[in-house]
Amino acid sequence: MVPVMIILIIFGSIAGVIIAPMYFRSQERQRMLETVRAAIEKGEPMPENLTEAMTRSAKISAPVSPQRDLRTGIIWLGVGIGLACMGLALNYEDADATWPMIGIAAFPIFIGLAFIAMFFLNRDRH
């Protein structure tokens, strides 16, 4: 029972750290939209700080470019190499841990190599 609780606490805390800010941000946006809706229905002008806050909260993603693919690929490659190094470091404690960690590290390594390949394939198009 204790190992199950430990796993639930670990994954629950990870989910909480990711989900809680998203939930509170959506609640803030909902209150802001209700304020804007009420102001429009009453015919009042919108306050400037409200429009600035709405502009800041809008996500503006970077345009797709080969350099973005290269940066993303290098990051994924670094994560994979880090996992592989961790597997090699675990070899000193448990020799059976090396190959599973290298297998896990293969996924981000190949994702990184795919992004780097996309960089080379798309650099002439932009």
Kindly state the average pLDDT of the residues 103-120. Answer: 94
pTM above 0.85?
Answer: no
Structure tokens at 122: 């798309």
CA angle 78, 83, 87 (to 5 degrees): 145
Q: Per-domain residue ranges for the chain?
A: 1-60, 61-126
Question: What pLDDT is stored for residue 46 in this prediction?
Answer: 73
Q: How far is Cα 57 from Cα 111, in angstroms, rounded to an integer? A: 30
pLDDT tens per residue across span 36-76: 888 888 888 776 776 777 677 666 666 778 889 999 999 99
Read off the pLDDT of residues 7-43 as tens digits, 9 standing for 90 and up: 888 888 988 888 998 999 889 888 888 888 888 888 8
pLDDT score recorded for residue 31 = 87
Q: Which of 64, 30, 34, 36 has its CA nearest to residue 50?
A: 36
d(CA 67, CA 75): 12
Burial 85-119 (b: 16+ CB within 10 A, else e): ebbeeeeeeeeebbeebbeebeebbebbeebbebb
**Are the beta carbons of 76 and 108 closer than 8 angstroms?**
yes
Separation of alpha carbons 26 and 15, rounded Å? 16
- Give the residue, 119 or 36, on which the prediction is more confident: 119
